[in-house]
Structure 1
């Protein structure tokens, strides 16, 4: 994978500093040096200590991320909404694990993305998950197709410039049309999985807007301002409006849905390579739509 930038000013600058301004980290320099990559200045091998002139073109050649036996390959169905040389946006169904683990090591989203890349003849075969979803949460997942794209998007995650929004169907009629839930979240004592609102927890903010109400449920649109484990589920359970189907946090399991009613429906971010703003939406899945049709 190659990336090229042209120096457009007369400011004295070394190759390393110039590339650092374009997102090439110290770790990336090490990978280029030790794993078969290269740095070119005007098409010729260059050094990081070389000074650049206005108009010089600097290219990095990233070493390929080769196939390995750690991650199995699956050729299962993949709902791809967008793809370019750097990124994939996939609509993940509920029930599919995002990354290999104890629940599934053979047919997760990552396994299927690896199969998709192999079918394309890609040389980089290590998918990098940027926005991860719980197994039973459906919706949009952003995947970087190589380590450099992942590093660039990780900066956006840290800066909270990526816009991710969710739909949830919660039990009861939420009275406020809009609110910000500001309540710290921490791990439950003696419980590895579950979280709860607690004074010694980490600061957590969830903003929501009511989109629809039925006699016994509410559709809310949600934007997270922090990224705590199970944040949406914990915050609405704390308010007394647990997500339908969410038996872990006390949600009703007799309404016709067999998983937490949570869907990542919206994603937007600035492409760090083209500087275009990309925007994606995934429609409400059928098992959640049925919950709202019962009026």
Structure 2
């Protein structure tokens, strides 16, 4: 899937440039999830960049781990929600592109403020139930960090979704084994997340989140599993910082910006494919 891979490379390039320009932000998780966002917005999800806030008649996406806003903004811009040039305003005063996605600036593509970890699952479930009440057959997608699952509210929501047969929901877990304070195994060992979801009553899939072919196949497979009485969860194995060798696989790049020299090293590994903003 060369076209999707080229888009993901450009989005990674956007991410490091955005975070460098304001010397603030979260490049690690953003880089790791670039393939997922590309697959979702450019292949899997039925969505409308003209953006209607209530989202009737289209698939919806909710980002729970809102600190990876750089990849979300770059994806929205590249898929036509707002001008790509606006990426240059990331985290600046009066920008619509704040550090965490927010709704008060009415940025197209953002339906809920996120960044307070652990809340996105509940929001996604609410949206999925609303679609059922409205006889809307489209799906709700959500993304969550593995470290974010330390928050207890997630597990209440996970139980609720299974009990209430919220089977129009596909939630993906970015299972990169890293969080802000270190490896998840040291901070709070999560064990086998997939088995936990299964015990809680979900249908689960596994995928390599940095292999575009495998990822797209898993997302499409997940769609075929909806409507069968169970919510669906994808265990997406990624490398934090994927695409930039000195950022890969470490929590150290969770929330710091590259300096000038590091930016140039990163860009040398991420060829411009769609044109920079």
TM > 0.5 fold call: no
Q: Which has the higher contact order (CA 8 A, sep 6+)?
A: 2
More helix by share: 2
Bigger radius of gyration? 1
More strand by share: 1
TM-score under structure 1 length normalisation: 0.25
